Amino acid sequence: MKLINERVLIRNVASAWLDQYPRARQLRDETYLKLHTLDVETATAKDVNTIIGNASWTVVPHCNECGASVPAVVEIGEEPDYESATAYVCLACLRKALALFTEEIKP
């Protein structure tokens, strides 16, 4: 289980790039080198998007329960992969889920 927001995506973008393109480091891939040298605590999504050429690496997944596009979600389940059992859930839906448990255990 992990939190995903824009800052988390930015902090992990260089390693995610290597996961996607494992030979990037050996080939001295220009995109990887630029991502690797970013100050991940101050860089913006726009900075990353400019390096990569699109916004797909900095977009927070939408909530799989309500469908909302939100600033942060929690990833639950298996590590994302083809046909993995992974869900992204927003704070509002997590609160609703917790309320279900709370109602169920009332005396």
pLDDT digits (tens, 9 = 90+) for 28-61: 789 999 999 999 999 999 999 999 999 999 999 9
Same domain for 42 and 66, yes or no, is no
68 and 53 in a common domain: no
Residues 54 and 64 in one domain: no
> Is the whole-model pTM more than 0.75?
yes
Do 65 and 32 belong to one domain? no
C-alpha–C-alpha distance, residues 75 and 87, integer Å: 6
Question: pLDDT by residue (tens digit) across 23-33?
Answer: 887 877 899 99
- CA 12/CA 17 separation, integer angstroms: 9
Shared domain check, 45 and 1: yes
* Torsion (CA) 18, 21, 27, 28 in degrees, nearest 10: -40
Is the same domain home to 69 and 98? yes
Answer with the one of 36, 59, 82 that is the final residue of a domain. Answer: 59
Total domain count, the chain: 2
Q: Which domain holds residue 24?
A: 1-59
